[in-house]
């Protein structure tokens, strides 16, 4: 037998109440099992802990020694329980979230604001990168979560949304009132594109191949901000997801129109390391991401997936 917590709890209640009857009532345990527990405890310790009298029980010297330790142990257990519940209700810790560069401008701020409001003890770090960089960071567990393209998804990924593609040019490039552009005309534009390691380039080259065309790439630029600056300077056009160009459209820094065609959208997923149990903080950040994605979907940025 070991000095288990249940026997300590029973002993402390009997000692503090001074009566098996009162202890039995407060604990909700019948007196015979209580007596058996106390006898077992005394046999294990090899000392008498309680003197039974007609008026109740009186602690022996050994019993008083054990009671002082028992009360300290029970207080420590209560504190441990309270701390654990507090941690469950208010998760803490660091969570690293990678976001595809073209989506980071529209996702990062609401993610940070919502996380800070709901769980101020979670430290959320957001990094952006291309699809291959995010994939490698998940594989090496550099990031806990990543919003990435379905093309590089692994088995642990979860579909998030489908995002429509837009042709992007300088202000006035598409004329007033134009609502969309055909995929054939979009591919024929003098395009500024990233290198072939980027998912959107792969998607467009695949579409061009299906149509028997070639992409009219006039410049290659790595980096969303640099690409937008080149477009504003009149050096060409590009094709991006709505999220990457939405703020530029609203502030009239760039012009953008949807590209027509059933296949001209890209699927985004939430990627996570395989065989890596999530922490409570990671779960809450994942839930926040789902909420933010849904809210932006309702604003028309993309089509959310079940």
Q: Do 33 and 145 share a domain, yes or no?
A: no
Asked, for residue 53, whether it belongs to a domain, the answer is yes
pLDDT of residue 201: 87
pLDDT of residue 196: 81
User: What sign for the dihedral angle of Cα 190, 196, 197, 203?
Assistant: positive
pLDDT of residue 263: 60
* Count of domains observed in the chain: 2
Residues of the chain falling short of pLDDT 70: 1-2, 86-88, 262-263
User: What sign for the dihedral angle of Cα 288, 290, 296, 301?
Assistant: positive
Q: How many CA atoms lie within 13 A of 140 on its CB side?
A: 8
pLDDT of residue 217: 94
Which of 66, 89, 112 is the endpoint of a domain? 89
pLDDT in tens, 108-146: 999 999 999 999 999 999 999 888 899 999 988 889 999
Residue 294 token pair: 């849904």
Q: Do 30 and 143 share a domain, yes or no?
A: no
Residue whose pair of structure tokens reads 């469950």 in the numeric block? 88
pLDDT of residue 301: 83
If DSSP codes are grouped into helix, strand and coil, which group holds residue 48?
coil
pTM of the model: 0.68
Alpha helices in 146-218 (DSSP H): 183-188, 199-210
Q: Which of 268, 162, 257, 262 is nearest to 211 (CA)?
A: 262
Q: Distance between CA 108 and CA 112 in Å, rounded? A: 6
Which of 89, 104, 121 is the endpoint of a domain? 89
Asked, for residue 101, whether it belongs to a domain, the answer is yes
The average confidence (pLDDT) of the chain is 89
pLDDT of residue 65: 92
Residue 164 token pair: 């429509």
If DSSP codes are grouped into helix, strand and coil, which group holds residue 276?
coil
Asked, for residue 306, whether it belongs to a domain, the answer is no
Which of 89, 114, 138 is the endpoint of a domain? 89
pLDDT of residue 244: 87
Residue whose pair of structure tokens reads 């380039």 in the numeric block? 201
The 8-class DSSP code of residue 259 comes to E
- Domain of 76, CATH number, reads 1.10.10.10
User: 135 is in which domain, residue-wise?
Assistant: 93-301
pLDDT of residue 216: 93
């Amino acid at each position: 037998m070991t000095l288990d917590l249940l026997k300590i709890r029973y002993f402390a209640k009997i000692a503090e109440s001074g009566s098996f009857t009162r202890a039995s009532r407060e604990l909700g345990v019948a007196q015979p099992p209580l007596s058996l527990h106390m006898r077992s405890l005394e046999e294990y310790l090899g000392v008498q802990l309680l003197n039974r009298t007609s008026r109740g029980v009186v602690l022996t010297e050994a019993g008083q020694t054990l009671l002082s330790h028992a009360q300290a142990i029970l207080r420590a257990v209560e504190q441990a329980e309270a701390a654990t519940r507090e941690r469950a209700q208010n998760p803490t810790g660091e969570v690293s979230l990678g976001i595809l560069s073209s989506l980071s401008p529209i996702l990062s701020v609401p993610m940070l604001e919502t996380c800070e409001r709901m769980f101020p003890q979670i430290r959320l770090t957001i990094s952006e990168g291309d699809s291959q960089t995010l994939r490698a960071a998940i594989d090496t567990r550099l990031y806990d979560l990543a919003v990435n393209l379905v093309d590089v998804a692994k088995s642990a990924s979860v579909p998030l949304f489908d995002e429509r593609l837009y042709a992007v040019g300088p202000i006035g490039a598409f004329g007033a009132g134009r609502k969309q552009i055909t995929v054939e005309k979009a591919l024929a534009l003098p395009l500024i594109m990233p290198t072939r390691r980027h998912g959107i380039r792969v998607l467009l080259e695949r579409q061009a191949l299906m149509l028997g065309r070639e992409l009219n790439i006039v410049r290659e630029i790595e980096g969303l901000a640099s690409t937008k600056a080149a477009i504003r300077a009149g050096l060409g056009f590009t094709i991006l997801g709505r999220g990457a160009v939405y703020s530029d459209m609203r502030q009239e820094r760039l012009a953008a129109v949807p590209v027509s065609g059933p296949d001209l959208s890209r699927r985004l997923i939430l990627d996570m390391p395989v065989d890596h149990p999530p922490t409570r903080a990671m779960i809450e950040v994942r839930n926040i991401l789902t909420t933010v994605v849904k809210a932006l979907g309702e604003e028309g940025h993309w089509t959310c997936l079940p």
